[in-house]
């Protein structure tokens, strides 16, 4: 059975004191959960968050990483520098693709670098509003999954379906749409040589305690990648509870 995962992506939010307060509040509320809970803070708080979560069973993730081993890459953080500070790394988030120019090839290199270093990539894929309206969701998601796994050997991996139009918009996908895309993700994983039933597939995009139960009730959705609601300890803990209740 795939272990359900609820991962919180704090993005570029929280000052030091806020990060400390938030992670401790989440730890108090969610540490006993029977599922995998992952906190992805800004890189500057990775050490603080991983120390705060020591002994809790909760995990830490980075929001991105650069694939080169070391060198003159001002502002970047190498995968190798994250080892020991986190277990997961988000790769291919639509904000990285859209705002920072992460191409299919760059996403693939980041994914392989994470796997080679023993970190688990959380591969984010999803169509934008225009592609959605044009009925191109399947084509886009298949291409993103296939391209990201070029050169990847079998290894621990998490996939997240995050329709770009749903991220931060307050307009989540329907659980049925997300379930359909999750089956496409699994098929694309299989085409890329992965054992699709062993890869957790998450949904992300305007998840709230009011809509999450519908997603985790779907047979191919194993949890969530949460943006805005992960910045509120009570809301995030409620999502963890909902995923736990759906699974056990």
The verdict on 192 binding ligand PEP (CB under 6 A) reads: no
Report the site for ligand PEP in 112-171 (rule: CB under 6 A): 162, 167-168
The verdict on 58 binding ligand PEP (CB under 6 A) reads: no
SS (H, E, C) 120-168: EEEEEECCCHHHHHCCCHHHHHHHHHHHHCCCCCCCCCEEEECCHHHCC
The verdict on 189 binding ligand PEP (CB under 6 A) reads: no
| Nearer to ligand PEP (CB atom), residue 106 or residue 122 | 122
Q: Which of 163, 204, 214, 223 binds ligand PEP (CB under 6 A)?
A: 204
Q: Which stretch binds ligand PEP (CB under 6 A): 28-36, 45-53, 204-212, 237-245?
A: 204-212
Q: Which of 126, 163, 214, 228 binds ligand PEP (CB under 6 A)?
A: 228
3-state secondary structure of 116: helix
Q: Which stretch binds ligand PEP (CB under 6 A): 108-116, 145-153, 223-231, 234-242?
A: 223-231
3-state secondary structure of 12: coil
**For this structure, is 87 an active site residue?**
no
State the catalytic residue, choosing from 87, 127, 162, 241. 162
Which are the contacts of 182, defined by CB distance < 8 A and separation ≥ 6? Answer: 161, 201, 203, 218, 220, 221
d(CA 138, CA 214): 21
Q: Which tokens is 146 given?
A: 């296939």
The verdict on 8 binding ligand PEP (CB under 6 A) reads: no
The verdict on 214 binding ligand PEP (CB under 6 A) reads: no
CB of 72 to ligand PEP, least distance (A): 30
**For this structure, is 93 an active site residue?**
yes
Q: Which tokens is 14 given?
A: 């929280």
Q: Which tokens is 245 given?
A: 């209740």
Q: Which tokens is 214 given?
A: 């519908």
| Sign of the Cα pseudo-torsion (164, 169, 42, 203, in order) | negative
Q: Which of 4, 8, 9, 62 binds ligand PEP (CB under 6 A)?
A: 9
Maximum distance among all Cα pairs of the chain, rounded to whole angstroms: 48
Where in the sequence numbering do the catalytic residues fall? 93, 162
Contact footprint for ligand PEP (CB under 6 A): 9, 162, 167-168, 204-207, 225-229
């Amino acid at each position: 059975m795939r272990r359900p995962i609820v991962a919180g992506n704090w993005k570029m939010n929280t000052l030091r004191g806020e990060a400390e307060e938030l992670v401790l509040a989440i730890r108090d509320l969610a540490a006993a959960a029977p599922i995998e809970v992952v906190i992805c803070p800004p890189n500057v708080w990775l050490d603080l968050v991983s120390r705060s979560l020591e002994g809790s069973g909760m995990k830490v993730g980075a929001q991105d990483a650069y694939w080169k081993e070391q060198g003159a890459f001002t502002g970047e953080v190498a995968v190798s520098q994250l080892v020991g500070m986190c277990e997961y790394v988000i790769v291919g988030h639509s904000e990285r693709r859209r705002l920072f120019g992460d191409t299919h090839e760059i996403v693939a290199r980041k994914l392989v670098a994470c796997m080679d270093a023993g970190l688990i990539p959380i591969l984010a894929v999803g169509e934008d509003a225009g592609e959605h309206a044009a009925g191109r969701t399947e084509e886009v998601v298949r291409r993103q999954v296939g391209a990201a796994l070029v050169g990847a050997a079998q290894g621990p991996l998490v996939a997240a379906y995050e329709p770009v139009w749903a991220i931060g918009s307050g307009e989540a996908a329907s659980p049925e749409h997300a379930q359909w895309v999750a089956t496409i993700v699994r098929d694309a994983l299989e085409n890329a040589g992965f054992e699709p039933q062993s890869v957790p597939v998450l949904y992300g995009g305007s998840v709230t305690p009011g809509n999450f139960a519908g997603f985790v009730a779907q047979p191919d959705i194993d949890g969530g990648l949460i943006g805005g609601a992960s910045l509120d300890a009570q809301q995030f803990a409620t999502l963890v509870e909902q995923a736990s209740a759906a699974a056990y």
